[in-house]
């Protein structure tokens, strides 16, 4: 049975072209800065994102952590969303390892933070207060349905940050999904930001890795922090080679995943046992819920779908997330819609 894995785009396997590139990659000691393939990937990434420099890191989590530690000292404060991945799912690394204090603002359904909310929490110069140092946005905003944050909004937040002498970091784990959804170049989405992390190992299919981009001075600082975190990876060109293929071949096709997410959502919306907000599907994610009237819990649905070869992720007692990616084709979308129909109680 061929398994359809919709739990995340992190499950993507490397493409055949990536495996060839990995086998053939010239490598060196990246801690000495001597891995030509890592250097090539970093240069490509910096150029694509319109930044001076870039740093290959092991994961999105490490990219965000290194960025926030580079921007903030101990006791400094970062303003971020209450649904931000960094707040919810990065094991509290910024406070555990960096002593960075977080101020969480409510993410709006479109993934943004309200500007007046941001302005309200920027601290005055008062010895009682932590020093506000950084604002972080996430694009696409995973827990807001994979919403894409616009160039215009990002610019306004960038201007606000500048006016208050703050830095702006973007967790752009899926920045190329955002770019495809909004039909703008990724570099335009991060232009107002001082730093951005993006992931090679999600919709872009590389097996491992993310890239942190920013000014040369910032990346110099982040490079030392990556070393402190144990992220100096030696002959990492083996991994970076797949990242180069990801940037060359996978960025342009990512919109296909969005079209399939729309199809999947539309098919599931016809199922009376499911609640799907079609309007909320903006990129490669479909969030939904099993209607209480079915009497089914999500864990039961997950188990039944699993038997049919469809893997989905529960996000709550009745809610779920489905993520489309390169290895989910049109037929997989149809099969998934049929599998849900089979699992839901009839009539
Ligand atoms: N997200 C994963 C899980 O951790 C939830 C997923 O399946 O979506 N930023 C964002 C917006 C992310 O969605 C993720 C991973 C990360 C950062 C962290 O990336 P990794 O897993 O490479 O550390």
pLDDT band at 64 (very low <50, low <70, confident <90, very high): very high
Q: How far apart are CA 332 and CA 312, in angstroms?
A: 13
Domains of the chain: 4-9+253-343 (3.90.1150.10), 13-250 (3.40.640.10)
pLDDT computed for residue 86 by the predictor? 98
Q: How far apart are CA 208 and CA 210, in angstroms?
A: 7
pLDDT computed for residue 347 by the predictor? 63
Q: Is pLDDT above 70 for 2? A: yes
Contact 145, 285 (CB under 8 A): yes
Mean pLDDT in residue range 24-43: 97
- What lines the ligand 1 site, CB under 6 Å? 8, 10, 59-61, 85, 89, 138, 142, 171, 173, 199, 201, 210
pLDDT computed for residue 117 by the predictor? 98
Q: Residue whose CA is closest, atom 1 of ligand 1?
A: 85
Q: Residue whose CA is closest, atom 20 of ligand 1?
A: 60
Q: Is pLDDT above 80 for 281? A: yes
Tokens matching residue 209: 């890795």
Centre of ligand 1 to C-alpha 105, Å, is 20
Which atom, in ligand 1's list, is nearest to the CA of 10?
7
pLDDT computed for residue 82 by the predictor? 98
Q: How far apart are CA 122 and CA 133, in angstroms?
A: 9
Q: Residue whose CA is closest, atom 16 of ligand 1?
A: 60
Helices 237-245 and 36-49, interaxial angle, to 10°? Answer: 40
What is the per-residue DSSP string for 196-252? EEEESSSTT--SS-EEEEE-HHHHHHHHHHHHHTT---SSTHHHHHHHHHIIIIIST
- Region of 219 on the Ramachandran plot (φ > 0 left; ψ -120 to 50 alpha; else beta): alpha
Which atom, in ligand 1's list, is nearest to the CA of 202?
22
Centre of ligand 1 to C-alpha 213, Å, is 17
Q: How far apart are CA 62 and CA 58, in angstroms?
A: 6
- Between 262 and 345, residue with greater pLDDT: 262
Tens digits of per-residue pLDDT, 205-242? 999 999 999 999 999 999 999 999 999 999 999 999 99
Tokens matching residue 80: 């971020």
pLDDT band at 78 (very low <50, low <70, confident <90, very high): very high
What stretches of the chain adopt beta strand conformation (E)?
4-5, 53-57, 77-81, 101-105, 132-138, 167-171, 195-199, 210-214, 274-276, 285-290, 310-311, 313-314, 319-323
Q: What angle do CA 227, 231, 236 make, to 5 degrees?
A: 120
Q: Residue whose CA is closest, atom 17 of ligand 1?
A: 60
Q: In 265-287, which positions are buried (b, 16+ CB within 10 angstroms) versus exposed (e)?
A: bebbbebebbbbeeebbbbbbbb
Q: How far apart are CA 328 and CA 37, in angstroms?
A: 29
Tokens matching residue 63: 């990219």
Q: How far apart are CA 203 and CA 269, in angstroms?
A: 24
Testing ligand 1's pocket by substitution, the residue of 93, 202, 210, 229 carrying the most ligand atoms inside 8 A of its CB is 202
Centre of ligand 1 to C-alpha 254, Å, is 17
Q: Is pLDDT above 90 for 192? A: yes
Q: Residue whose CA is closest, atom 7 of ligand 1?
A: 8
Centre of ligand 1 to C-alpha 146, Å, is 12
Centre of ligand 1 to C-alpha 326, Å, is 17
Centre of ligand 1 to C-alpha 48, Å, is 21
List CB contacts of 225: < 8 A, sequence separation 6 or more.
65, 66, 69, 70
Which atom, in ligand 1's list, is nearest to the CA of 84?
11
Centre of ligand 1 to C-alpha 54, Å, is 19
pLDDT computed for residue 346 by the predictor? 75
Centre of ligand 1 to C-alpha 282, Å, is 17
Tokens matching residue 156: 């306004």
Which atom, in ligand 1's list, is nearest to the CA of 9?
7
Centre of ligand 1 to C-alpha 60, Å, is 6
Q: How far apart are CA 176 and CA 189, in angstroms?
A: 10
Q: Is pLDDT above 90 for 345? A: no
Q: How far apart are CA 301 and CA 310, in angstroms?
A: 10
């Amino acid at each position: 049975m061929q398994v359809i894995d919709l739990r995340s785009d992190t499950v993507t396997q490397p493409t055949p072209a990536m495996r060839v590139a990995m086998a053939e990659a010239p490598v060196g000691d990246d801690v000495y800065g001597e891995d030509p393939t890592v250097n090539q990937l970093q240069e490509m990434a910096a150029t694509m994102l319109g930044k001076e420099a870039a740093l290959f890191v092991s994961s999105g989590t490490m990219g965000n952590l290194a960025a926030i530690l580079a921007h903030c000292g101990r006791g400094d404060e970062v303003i971020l969303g209450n649904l931000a991945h960094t707040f919810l799912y990065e094991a509290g690394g910024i406070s555990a390892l960096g002593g960075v204090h977080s101020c969480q603002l409510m993410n709006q359904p479109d993934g943004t933070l309200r500007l007046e909310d941001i302005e309200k929490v920027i601290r005055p110069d008062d010895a009682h207060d932590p020093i506000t140092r950084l604002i972080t946005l996430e694009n696409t905003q995973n827990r807001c349905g994979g919403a894409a944050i616009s160039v215009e909004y990002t610019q306004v937040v960038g201007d606000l940050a500048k006016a208050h002498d703050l830095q702006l970091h973007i967790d752009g784990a899926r920045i190329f999904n955002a770019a495809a959804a909004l039909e703008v170049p990724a570099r335009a989405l991060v232009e107002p930001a001082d730093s951005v992390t993006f992931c090679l190992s999600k919709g872009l299919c590389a097996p491992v890795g993310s890239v942190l981009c920013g000014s040369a001075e910032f990346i110099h600082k982040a490079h030392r922090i990556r070393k402190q975190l144990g992220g100096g990876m030696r002959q990492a060109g083996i991994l970076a080679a797949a990242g180069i293929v990801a940037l060359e071949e996978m960025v342009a096709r990512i919109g296909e995943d969005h079209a399939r997410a729309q199809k999947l959502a539309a098919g599931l919306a016809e199922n009376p046992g499911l609640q799907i907000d079609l309007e909320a599907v903006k990129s490669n994610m479909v969030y939904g819920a099993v209607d209480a009237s079915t009497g089914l819990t999500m864990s039961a649905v997950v188990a039944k779908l699993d038997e049919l070869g469809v893997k989905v992720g529960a996000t709550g007692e009745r809610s779920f997330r489905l993520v489309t990616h390169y290895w989910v084709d049109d037929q997989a979308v149809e099969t998934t819609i049929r599998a849900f129909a089979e699992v839901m109680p009839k009539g």
